Amino acid sequence: MKSRRVVTRLKKALPWAAGGAVFILWGASRLWPEFSFGERVGRSSLGMLLEMVWILPVMFLLVGLFEVWVPRASIERYLGREAGWKAVPWLILLAMLQAGPLYGAFPVAIGLARKGCSPRNVFIYLGAFSSLKIPLLTFEVGFLGWPFSLARVLISLPAFILVGILMERLVPGWAPPEFQASGGNSNPSPKADCAGGPEVHFRREDSSLDSKKSEVFDGSPKEDKP
């Protein structure tokens, strides 16, 4: 029992230790200019940080708005289990129109899953996002040429659809994890609470479904910090 607690504590400390290591390496290069590795580490970490500072707020804002405005029924209809193969073109279109690194698509995928997009389609979306984004393709065509890009896109397409199908088999019953505030609020206010918006008629249809899934985690403003 005790050792497990130590492990979790170590795990929690790891990110901050890694961040500290980067900072120390960078600081060392300040003190001893000949230690250029530290400077490079500092510079690329900063570049990464800046990239994320720019991308993540946009992504999370988008996902937050998606969560409160998009009716569950429509995502379920087009991307849910019953949608079948008709969902794939939508997923690909959605993925192609986006930009940024794959980790930017994680929150979007979770947002889709929370609205009833089936697990298979969530992972097909991730696959499509990773390899078919239009901004990415423009770069690829520019530097590696049309034949390379076209071959990669056409061969990747069945590959990531297969990955999606296999994911559904290998991780049965996958559901997005909850994103509760770590403070541990215990107010499972049902979603119906916030259904005052324009799509009330949608909500009424699926309110039972909705509240079942989102008991732990919803965007209700009531359950603030204790």
Partner 1 sequence: MKALAVFTAAALLISLAADRRRTWMGIRFGLRMLMKILPALVLMISAVGLLLSALNPRFLESLFGGSGLISFLSGLAVGAVALIPGFIAFPMAGVLRAHGVSTAVLAAFVTSLLMVGVVTLPLEIRFFGRKAALWRNVLSLAAAAVVALVMAVVLR
Report how far apart, in Å, the C-alpha atoms of 71 and of each of 4, 6, 31, 129 are.
Answer: 42, 43, 56, 23
**Structure tokens given for 189:** 């206010």
Residue nearer to partner 1 on the CB measure, 156 or 209:
156
Taking the complex as a whole, the smallest distance from the CB of residue 35 to partner 1 amounts, in Å, to: 12
Nearest to 52 by CA among 103, 125, 126: 103
Nearer to partner 1, 6 or 154 (CB): 154
d(CA 203, CA 209): 9
The least CB distance from residue 184 to partner 1, in Å, is 12
Look at the block and give the residue holding tokens 């969560």: 67
Minimum CB–partner distance for residue 57 and partner 1 (Å) = 8
Select 44 or 86, whichever has its Cβ closest to partner 1.
44
Integer angstrom CA distances of residue 87 from 104, 105, 206: 21, 18, 20
CB of 42 to partner 1, least distance (A): 7
Residue closer to partner 1 (CB basis): 37 or 86:
37
Cα 58 from Cα 6, distance rounded (Å): 36
Q: Which amino acid is at 38?
A: G
- C-beta of 24 vs 86, nearer to partner 1: 24
CB 77, min distance to partner 1, A: 21
If phi > 0 it is left, if psi is from -120 to 50 it is alpha, else beta; for residue 58 that is: alpha
For 8-76, give the secondary structure using H, E and C: HHHHHHHHHHHHHHHHHHHHHHHHCCCCHHHHHHHHHHHHHHHHHHHHHHHHHHHHHHHHHHCCHHHHH
> Closest approach of Cβ 69 to partner 1, in Å?
7
Which CB, 86 or 139, lies closer to partner 1? 139
Question: Taken in order 122, 125, 126, 127, is the CA torsion positive or negative?
Answer: positive
